[in-house]
Structure 1
Amino acid sequence: MDSTEPLFDLPAPTPWDAVQLKALATLREAPLELVSPDWAQALSAQDPALRRLGAMLNAEYDAGTRFLPLPTQVLRALGTPLAEVKVLIVGQDPYPTPGHSVGLAFSVDKTTRPLPRSLNNIYKELHTDLGIPPAAHGDLGAWSRQGVLLLNRVLTVAPGQAGSHRRRGWEEVTDAVITTLAARAQPLVSVLWGNDAQRLAPMLEGTAVIESAHPSPLSASRGFFGSRPFSRVNDLLSAQGATPVDWKLPP
């Protein structure tokens, strides 16, 4: 959804604790402290852009409107060391429903119910592809810990307003992330679901790329279902001499 109209009536924002306020200050003053050391080195040229984004987020907080995900999770995807990334899955922007977005594309907190419909469709295709039953929760952190970078193009959103932080500067940062990955002499398989993600394909030229329709209910039946991305990723990793991903999520 691209509308900036609220999706629902939003509760009054609760005050953030000291941990979140410290992370908010770090996003404004030293954002690269929140990512792994090798990402911090690789993205040093993006420090000014990240500081501007941190200032924007601070202004959102001061205005009482907040943003999603929580400050400690905004750069969570880049906590996975650059050297360990072997799969890139690209999302659009965080879930705008309060409590859903956790800093990893398509993932939600273990306690979130019901699961987002796109994530349900991902689980359906995983079952069809590899016979793995759908997990009871939506926490994809186990994939991240195996070197799957679950990267949204835009890393924040206003509560209830899908797409509200697009074209504010995040795309510059995530473009740098993607070109950095493509430039390494290491195994990489990228998964581009939907038209927005597929526009990134030229940045990934020379690396293995899997493209299909988006898992959204609006498009899943038009090429996502039956695309078998999980087995294809593992086949392409094996062909590059890398360890396949165990896509089964823990209980």
Structure 2
Amino acid sequence: MDILDIPMGWSDLPFFAQDWPAIESVIAADTRQVLPPEPLRFAALDLTPPAKTRVVILGQDPYPTPGHAHGLAFSVEPDVRPLPRSLNNIFKELVEDTGQAPLTGDLRHWASQGVLLLNTALSVPAGEANGHKQLGWSKLAHQVLDHTSHRPTAYILWGNAAQKLESFINPGDHLILKSAHPSPLSARRGFFGSRPFSAVNRWLASRDEDTINWTELPEALK
């Protein structure tokens, strides 16, 4: 990977020198369609550099349906209909929690406000969920959690896979919210009713920080 392509602010993570070259070689040799498209692979880190990260939401791997994934956990391109089921449940909870939800599944306006939407694997073969789970991507997630937790940050850990990574969060004045995953298989086991969005905003407000506008597209992005 060209040094100019490493996401700004994250280049000091050991992952990019020690692990990414081997992962990149495997992906390059994979004859299957790999999602998201290469220019979007590090979109989450590009859009939310460390200095702006205030909230971290962990996902698993990109959507395996072509045209859906664009590099941010849970987010989809704005023209995607119907929404993926997990994202649809996230929006249901958002409506219950705040009274409204975004008009599309494109969550880049969350990223622009300091919400890092990070998958624990940043690539997937089309149609094969978790197909790149074992490539070594997890080291990047571990290092991002370590790096961001050197200052107070809110972490939203949905499901067991995300919660197992809590050990990589350094002790500090963090907000750590844990519940079931928004997947249809588990959403009714504790995700619905968890109210994470208002909880994050109360925490940010208690620190005299701007709260997250979860539902409306900021003027700068319209």
Compute the TM-score of the two structures, normalised by the length of structure 1: 0.82
Cα offset, 1:48, TM superposition: 2.7
Match of 1:38 in 2: 9
- Asked if 1:189 is matched to 2:189, the reply is no
**Is this contact kept in 2: 1:34–1:75, CA < 8 A?**
no
**Is this contact kept in 2: 1:68–1:156, CA < 8 A?**
yes
Match of 1:198 in 2: 163
Q: 1:129 aligns with which of 97, 122, 138?
A: 97
Cα offset, 1:218, TM superposition: 0.6
**Is this contact kept in 1: 2:15–2:143, CA < 8 A?**
no
Match of 2:18 in 1: 48
Q: 1:230 aligns with which of 197, 203, 208?
A: 197
Cα offset, 1:44, TM superposition: 4.5
Give a deviation string over 1:189-239, Cα, whole Å, max 9, x none: 000000000111122233220000000011111100000000001111222
Q: 2:116 aligns with which of 124, 141, 149?
A: 149
**Is this contact kept in 2: 1:140–1:249, CA < 8 A?**
no
Cα offset, 1:66, TM superposition: 2.0
1:109-124 counterparts in 2 under 5 A?
109-124=77-92
Give a deviation string over 1:51-96, Cα, whole Å, max 9, x none: 1111111111xx2x12000001111111122100000000011111
- What is the one-letter code of the residue matched to 1:203? F
Larger Cα Rg: Structure 1 or Structure 2? 1
CA–CA separation in structure 2 for the residues paired with 1:109 and 1:241: 33
Q: 5+ unaligned residues in a row in structure 2: which ranges? A: none
CA–CA separation in structure 2 for the residues paired with 1:57 and 1:175: 21
**Is this contact kept in 2: 1:188–1:237, CA < 8 A?**
no
Kindly report structure 1 stretches of 4+ aligned residues shifted beyond 4 Å.
none
Q: 5+ unaligned residues in a row in structure 1: which ranges? A: 1-28
How much identity, in percent, do the aligned residues show? 44
